[in-house]
Amino acid sequence: MTGNITGISGPTVRVALKGLRLYERVYVGNAMLTGEVVKLEENRAVVQVYEDTHGLAPDEPVQATGTPLAVSLGPGLLSGIFDGLQRPLERLRDDSGPFIRSGKEIYALDRFRQWRFHPLKNKGDHISPGEILGYVEEGHFRHNITCGSDINGSLSWVADGEITIEGPAGALADGKEIPVYHEWPVRVPRPYRRKIAPSQPLVTGQRTIDFLFPFSKGGTAILPGGFGTGKTILEQSIAKFADVDIVVYAGCGERGNEMAEMIEEFQMLRDPWTRSRLMERTVLVINTSNMPVAAREASIYTAVTMAEYYRDMGYHVLLLADSISRWAEALREISSSLEEMPGEEGYPTYLASRLSGFIERAGVVETFSGKTGSLSMVLSVSPPGGDFTEPVTQSCLRTTGTFLMLDTSLAHRRHFPAINWFQSYSLYAGELLPHYKENISPEWEDVQRGCGEILRKEETLREVVEIIGIEGIQDQDRLLLHAAEMIRSTFLCQNAYTDDAFSPLEKTLSAVKKILDFHKEAEKKLTQGVALREII
């Protein structure tokens, strides 16, 4: 179907074209700009264009595709760098230079690359939806080729050898071919057999998180913090060291120089778990602040769909979005251009439901092939002025299990990660405690409780010290302040650019236990009459 443009207002274009569906993908203008139908009216539609609309004019043609915005899922995603529409940025650079031209379409996956296909089924076998037909090696990962919901019957033949993603991996007796890759709408969650309650910790290597506010595989966490609190560095540290199979990192509306530095670092670093290149287990979705705002809104859906794809293979996947506030700002800008009724602080009234629908795509699931995979989310939030009562932070709090508040005062004291240990919390701590006791140490809970007690008492004593001075308190209290300072400066602080950037759970427990043991021994010596100065 073909129509024409009747009006243009920034990235919002009104078109005269009957038969369109909501969220259908269309090509706009002579430049073939990619757009998405966001509003339908009688005899016309409103299209949100994902690219720069400069030079677009009324009466230019509009062409319907009949399909929604979708991503290509198949071998070749790992180590890839894509924009919010899943265009491969490296191949775009090689093809058209450092600047992306409007209307430039390029396949997300390399259609000429040869993959060695290893069949797991034979000719004549019966195969049903969700079953694994075979696999290819994608780096050191086994990339399973599974059957879609329309595949059910006996196999007439199965590939064995070199194939491309264009070539079928096999065919049924009725002639229906089984594709190597497929398209999936980004706004539709991928199906699974059932959801499972999270029970395994996701080790981040950050002592504050792993020890005080544990995070589970299949869980969700938010990192709200004002400017300069280290959100990006903390997310990148988690991406480098997290105990997961695959990381999908969405740079949503961040500065281009930050993303360039991160890409360069990821290409040089080694994964501490497998010792292979960090980039080999990573997919990057980069939509910087100078890219079109509509593509920024779509970028997190592109990222989560690719993450779900690897989850369905039975892998543990971590999705990081930096920052979800930039996504919400893009949503607000789009909503304003559509003249929708604004909600709190100008955000659309459906902000909370959109965020909930996205966050709930995380979880531990049993796939249709019988495997267990997980999708975990860590989302950074950039509240204006560090105001945690603003709508994005509050909407995220309703559906996330871990709240890691980044404190501006800690950041000003050069305490990183600047996680406030009094305001933060984790709803997964009780569920994960049996795992820590059984696999790390039976003392885990006692040590955790002792550490928290010292930090709480220190906070109370600080108020007293501000009034009467350090000389006015007893030696036992001064000793406690010294132990708390050791916990804060040597345990909770971590330098992201040294070998201390990653701390295994055993090392984490040993470090804090030494401090608590020192405090107990020092208390005994105080009761025996030894001077505090000699003990310290």
pLDDT digits (tens, 9 = 90+) for 256-289: 888 888 888 888 888 888 888 889 999 999 988 8
Residue 430 in 3-state DSSP? helix
Tell me how far apart the alpha carbons of residues 262 and 518 are, in angstroms, rounded to a whole number: 40
Mean pLDDT for the stretch of residues 383-401: 91
- Look at the alpha carbons of 235, 316, 362, 110 in this order and tell me if their dihedral is positive or negative: positive
Question: Alpha-carbon distance 495 to 380, whole Å?
Answer: 19
Instruction: Please give the pLDDT value at position 248.
Output: 96
Instruction: Assess whether pLDDT exceeds 70 at residue 319.
Output: yes
517: which 2 tokens? 């043991």
Q: Omega into 342 within 30° of 0, i.e. cis?
A: no
Q: Is the pLDDT of residue 201 over 90?
A: yes
SS3 of residue 426 by DSSP? strand
> Do residues 513 and 207 make contact, with C-beta atoms less than 8 angstroms apart?
no
Model pLDDT for residues 453-505, shown as the tens digit of each residue: 999 999 889 888 888 887 788 889 899 999 999 999 999 999 888 888 899 99
Contacts of 348 (CB under 8 A, 6+ apart): 331, 332, 335, 340, 341, 342, 354
pLDDT, average across residues 112-122: 93
Structural domains in the chain, sorted by start: 2-68 (2.40.30.20), 76-97+215-427 (3.40.50.300), 115-185 (2.40.50.100), 444-535 (1.10.1140.10)
pTM reported for the whole predicted model:
0.93
Is the pLDDT reported for residue 115 higher than 80? yes
b/e 173-210 (16+ beta carbons within 10 angstroms → b): eeeeebbbbbebbbbeebebeeeeebebbbbbbbbbbb
Report the DSSP pairing between strands 220-224 and 61-68. unpaired
Return d(Cα 21, Cα 38) in angstroms, integer.
9
Taking residues 27-47, report their average pLDDT: 90
Q: Is the pLDDT of residue 396 over 90?
A: yes
What's the longest Cα–Cα distance across the chain?
A: 92
Please write the tens of the pLDDT for every residue from 406-434.
999 999 999 999 999 999 999 999 999 99
Do 128 and 151 meet the contact criterion of CB atoms below 8 Å apart?
A: yes
- Report which of 84, 375, 423 is spatially closest to residue 223, judged by C-alpha positions: 423
Cα 64 to Cα 26: distance, rounded to the nearest angstrom? 5
SS3 531: coil
- Pick from 76, 150, 83: which is nearest to 109 by CA? 76
Phi first, then psi: give them for residue 212, nearest 5 degrees. Answer: -90, -40
Nearest to 509 by CA among 439, 407, 428, 404: 439
DSSP, collapsed to helix, strand or coil, labels residue 165 as: coil
Map tokens 């929604």 to a residue: 68
Distance (Å, whole) CA 341 – CA 298: 21
pLDDT at 323 over 90: no
The DSSP result for 413-475, as a single string, is TT-SS-B-TTT-EETTHHHHHHHHHHHT-TTHHHHHHHHHHHHHHHHHHHHHHHHH-GGGS-H
Q: What is the mean pLDDT of residues 78-83?
A: 92
The alpha-helical segments, DSSP class H, found in 162-230 are 207
- The 10 Å Cβ neighbour count of residue 1 is 13
Q: How confident is the model at residue 103 (pLDDT cuts 50, 70, 90)?
A: low
Do 14 and 46 form a contact (C-beta atoms < 8 A)? yes
Q: Which residue has the tokens 């080999």?
A: 280
pLDDT bin (cut points 50, 70, 90) of residue 314 is very high
**In sequence order, what are the residues at sequence separation of 6 or more whose Cβ sits closer than 8 angstroms to the Cβ of residue 343?**
349, 351, 391
Angle at 496 between CA 495 and CA 500, to 5 degrees: 60
CA distance 389 to 272: 37
- Residue 485: other Cβ atoms inside 10 A: 12
Residue type, 291: M
Query: Virtual CA dihedral for 480, 482, 485, 490, nearest 10 degrees?
Result: -110
What pLDDT digit, counting tens, does each position of 326-342 carry? 999 999 988 888 888 89
* Mean of the per-residue pLDDT values of the chain: 91
Residue (of 299, 256, 279) closest to 86 by Cα position? 299
Q: Are 492 and 421 in contact (CB under 8 A)?
A: yes
Reading the block at residue 132, the tokens are 């694994």
Tell which wins on pLDDT, 532 or 378: 378
Q: How much is the average pLDDT of 351-362? A: 95
Q: Check whether the bond before 323 is cis (ω within 30° of 0).
A: yes
Q: Return the pLDDT at 64.
A: 93
Amino acid code (one letter) for 246: I
The structure tokens 């199906």 sit at: 191
pLDDT of the residue at 93: 85
Residue 277 has a pLDDT of 85
**pLDDT value at position 121?**
92
Q: Alpha-carbon dihedral of residues 97, 100, 102, 107, nearest 10 degrees? A: 90
Helices H / strands E in the chain, number of each: 14, 26
Whether 105 shows a pLDDT value over 80: the answer reads no
